[in-house]
Amino acid sequence: MKKGGSLPLLPTVLLLLHSLMACSLLAQGAPRAPHKILVSDADRRAAGESIMVFGHSLTAKTQAGSALKHNEQSRRSKRPVVLAGSAERGQGGEGNDQLRAPGDLTFFGGPTVPFAESHPIFLVPPGPSCMANTCWGDPNTFLEDFGHSGLSHVTDQYVGQRADNRYTLGDEFVLPFTPTPPSAPLLDADIRAIVHAAAAFSGESGYNHVFHVFLPPGQDECFSKSATFCYSPDVPASFAFCAYHNSVTFPDIGHVLYTVQPFQNVVECNVRPDTPNGQLIDSTNSTLSHELIETITDPDGDAWFNFTNVALAGMEIADECQFFVVLEVGPSAFASFGDPTTFRVGRQVFAAQPEYSNQDHACAIQP
């Protein structure tokens, strides 16, 4: 009786196993849910005790931006680094060949980023007007596809790797955020606390992880309380940068790389009208690629940058390839816009600025 009674259970067991396998496959193909984070007092303390290793800005096309560029180039020229001259003494790429051009980057022996996951952190204000990812266009798709693009392979010569898909989309984070007024902008210390919260939550730090902090529309951010150099479209006198990348060492979780991505679809930061995906998506992606690739090739300020040309001194791989157009935006009114290059990854079309290639001695969108 026991033997005969057990046979009808077999189809049920097989059906259950089939259902579990189907659910597992669906789960593998589904996008990962974003992690909700909050900034604690411990995060703020870690930010206050952190050591800033390096920072580099994408300056705005403003008078304050020109002052910031001069300031950064002056500091970069005085950095106490020893010229490595060849890749054997560092973790970089292939060095320079015998033919030199004014734009060629020099290797100083510091670390580069051959492999990395990108982790977006979206500061999401209350209400439905600005949702994670879509409020900034679609940076997640760019970060998913970047590693398959020819643009990512321009970095091969600098990091000594050629494999495809070395740069991928990692964990996504959402921080509920109440925007602050222009009189009380976010500071980089606040950004470091946010980055610490995400990195400590996930356990992701070091040179194989890059955090990207996306600020909502209208949110100003400054380097320090002096508010001399800021992302502040509503305060022109201090509007100096569109984005930047930093490296920092925290006392508890160690070295962390991050970029700050203010809202890019504003005058002095955005790309020209009529790009393939529209100004919102393409302005975000072009600036994101600028900061990501500079982080890959010069995370700590002692890897690859221009040292031998006075006019380009201190510039990194993306700085040398920012192309602009001046367009009429009203009666007798003109404005400058970024002029990106279009490229495909599979069926997806992207528009982003090219990057400097020592191999080609020119700006390139692919090797």
> For the chain, what is the HEC assignment?
CHHHHHCCHHHHHHHHHHHHHHHHHHHHHCCCCCEECCCCHHHHHHHHHCEEEEEEEEECCCHHHHHHHHHHHHHHHCCCCCCCCCHHHCCCCCCCCCCCCCCCCEECCCCCCCCEEEEEEEEECCCCCCCCCHHHCCHHHHHHHHHHCHHHHCCHHHHCCCCCCCEEECCCEEEECCCCCCCCCEEHHHHHHHHHHHHHHHCCCCCCEEEEEECCCCCCEECCCCCCCEECCCCHHHECEEEEEEEEEECCCEEEEEEEECCCCCCCCCECCCCCCCHHHHHHHHHHHHHHHHHHHCCCCCCEECCCCCCCCCCCCCHHHCCEEEEEEECCEEEEEECCEEEEECCEEEEECCEEECCCCEEECCC
Against a cut of 0.85, is the pTM above it? yes
**Structure confidence at residue 221 (pLDDT):** 98
**Structure confidence at residue 182 (pLDDT):** 96
**Structure confidence at residue 73 (pLDDT):** 80
**Structure confidence at residue 77 (pLDDT):** 65
Distance CA 299, CA 98 (A): 26
Q: What is the pLDDT along the chain (367 residues), one digit of tens a residue?
A: 444 444 445 444 444 445 445 444 444 445 679 999 999 999 999 999 999 999 999 999 999 999 999 898 877 766 544 444 443 333 445 555 556 799 999 999 999 999 999 999 999 999 999 999 999 999 999 999 999 999 999 999 999 999 999 999 999 999 999 999 999 999 999 999 999 999 999 999 999 999 999 999 999 999 999 999 999 999 999 999 999 999 999 999 999 999 999 999 999 999 999 999 999 999 999 999 999 999 999 999 999 999 887 788 899 999 999 999 999 888 988 889 999 999 999 999 999 999 999 999 999 999 9
**Structure confidence at residue 75 (pLDDT):** 78
